[in-house]
Amino acid sequence: AQKVTQAQTEISVVEKEDVTLDCVYETRDTTYYLFWYKQPPSGELVFLIRRNSFDEQNEISGRYSWNFQKSTSSFNFTITASQVVDSAVYFCALRSGNTDKLIFGTGTRLQVFP
Protein backbone atom coordinates (compact mmCIF):
# COMPACT_ATOMS: atom_id res chain seq x y z
CA ALA A 1 0.00 0.00 0.00
CA GLN A 2 1.09 3.56 -0.64
CA LYS A 3 0.73 6.09 2.10
CA VAL A 4 2.08 9.46 3.20
CA THR A 5 1.98 10.50 6.84
CA GLN A 6 2.42 14.05 8.06
CA ALA A 7 2.08 13.68 11.80
CA GLN A 8 2.27 17.39 12.55
CA THR A 9 -1.16 18.92 12.07
CA GLU A 10 -0.19 22.47 12.94
CA ILE A 11 3.03 24.27 13.82
CA SER A 12 3.36 27.83 15.08
CA VAL A 13 6.66 29.69 15.14
CA VAL A 14 7.86 33.24 15.49
CA GLU A 15 9.52 34.91 12.54
CA LYS A 16 13.19 34.03 12.01
CA GLU A 17 12.87 30.68 13.74
CA ASP A 18 13.84 27.54 11.84
CA VAL A 19 11.10 24.95 11.40
CA THR A 20 11.09 21.36 10.12
CA LEU A 21 8.05 19.67 8.61
CA ASP A 22 8.08 15.89 8.80
CA CYS A 23 6.99 13.47 6.10
CA VAL A 24 7.03 9.67 6.28
CA TYR A 25 6.04 7.57 3.28
CA GLU A 26 5.21 3.95 2.54
CA THR A 27 5.58 2.15 -0.78
CA ARG A 28 6.72 -1.23 -2.02
CA ASP A 29 7.97 0.14 -5.32
CA THR A 30 11.68 0.67 -5.80
CA THR A 31 11.10 3.59 -8.14
CA TYR A 32 9.10 6.46 -6.74
CA TYR A 33 9.01 10.23 -6.49
CA LEU A 34 8.43 12.48 -3.52
CA PHE A 35 7.09 16.00 -3.65
CA TRP A 36 6.39 18.98 -1.47
CA TYR A 37 3.65 21.45 -2.29
CA LYS A 38 2.69 24.69 -0.56
CA GLN A 39 -0.96 25.75 -0.29
CA PRO A 40 -1.32 29.40 0.74
CA PRO A 41 -4.69 30.83 1.83
CA SER A 42 -5.52 31.52 -1.83
CA GLY A 43 -5.91 27.76 -2.23
CA GLU A 44 -3.59 27.08 -5.14
CA LEU A 45 -1.07 24.28 -4.66
CA VAL A 46 2.43 25.50 -5.46
CA PHE A 47 5.06 22.96 -6.44
CA LEU A 48 8.24 23.20 -4.35
CA ILE A 49 10.38 20.16 -5.08
CA ARG A 50 10.50 16.69 -6.60
CA ARG A 51 12.90 13.96 -5.52
CA ASN A 52 13.30 10.51 -7.08
CA SER A 53 14.07 7.40 -5.09
CA PHE A 54 17.55 7.02 -6.56
CA ASP A 55 18.76 10.42 -5.47
CA GLU A 56 19.30 10.75 -1.74
CA GLN A 57 21.28 13.94 -1.96
CA ASN A 58 19.89 16.66 0.23
CA GLU A 59 18.85 19.82 -1.54
CA ILE A 60 18.93 23.46 -0.57
CA SER A 61 17.08 26.25 -2.30
CA GLY A 62 17.45 29.57 -0.56
CA ARG A 63 15.84 29.26 2.87
CA TYR A 64 14.36 25.85 2.00
CA SER A 65 16.13 22.53 2.41
CA TRP A 66 15.03 18.94 2.11
CA ASN A 67 16.40 15.83 3.82
CA PHE A 68 15.61 12.53 2.08
CA GLN A 69 16.45 9.36 4.02
CA LYS A 70 15.40 6.04 2.51
CA SER A 71 16.49 4.17 5.63
CA THR A 72 13.71 5.84 7.61
CA SER A 73 11.35 6.45 4.65
CA SER A 74 11.35 10.14 5.41
CA PHE A 75 11.48 13.29 3.32
CA ASN A 76 11.59 16.22 5.73
CA PHE A 77 11.40 19.88 4.81
CA THR A 78 13.17 22.65 6.72
CA ILE A 79 12.55 26.36 6.43
CA THR A 80 15.40 28.45 7.80
CA ALA A 81 14.72 31.91 9.23
CA SER A 82 10.98 31.62 8.66
CA GLN A 83 8.95 34.58 7.43
CA VAL A 84 5.29 35.51 7.73
CA VAL A 85 4.87 34.77 4.01
CA ASP A 86 5.77 31.16 4.72
CA SER A 87 2.43 30.74 6.51
CA ALA A 88 0.53 28.09 4.56
CA VAL A 89 -0.43 24.44 4.55
CA TYR A 90 2.39 22.22 3.28
CA PHE A 91 1.71 18.87 1.67
CA CYS A 92 4.06 16.00 1.09
CA ALA A 93 3.11 13.67 -1.76
CA LEU A 94 4.22 10.37 -3.24
CA ARG A 95 4.08 9.04 -6.77
CA SER A 96 5.14 5.44 -7.26
CA GLY A 97 4.78 2.61 -9.70
CA ASN A 98 3.44 3.06 -13.19
CA THR A 99 0.97 5.74 -12.30
CA ASP A 100 0.76 9.51 -12.30
CA LYS A 101 -1.40 9.48 -9.21
CA LEU A 102 -0.09 11.64 -6.39
CA ILE A 103 -0.81 10.33 -2.90
CA PHE A 104 -0.93 13.29 -0.56
CA GLY A 105 -0.46 13.47 3.18
CA THR A 106 -2.97 15.34 5.31
CA GLY A 107 -0.81 18.45 5.36
CA THR A 108 0.87 20.55 8.04
CA ARG A 109 -0.43 24.04 8.70
CA LEU A 110 2.45 26.39 9.41
CA GLN A 111 1.75 29.72 11.06
CA VAL A 112 4.58 32.21 11.29
CA PHE A 113 3.93 35.10 13.63
CA PRO A 114 5.73 38.44 13.40
Partner 1 sequence: EAGVAQSPRYKIIEKRQSVAFWCNPISGHATLYWYQQILGQGPKLLIQFQNNGVVDDSQLPKDRFSAERLKGVDSTLKIQPAKLEDSAVYLCASSSTWGQGSSYSYNEQFFGPGTRLTVL
Binding site for partner 1 (CB under 8 A): 4, 33, 35, 37, 42-47, 50, 91, 93, 95, 99-102, 104-107
Burial class, 104, CB count within 10 angstroms (exposed 0-12 / middle 13-18 / buried 19+): middle
Burial class, 84, CB count within 10 angstroms (exposed 0-12 / middle 13-18 / buried 19+): exposed
Q: Cβ 52 to partner 1, closest distance in Å?
A: 10
Q: Cβ 86 to partner 1, closest distance in Å?
A: 19
Q: Cβ 54 to partner 1, closest distance in Å?
A: 14
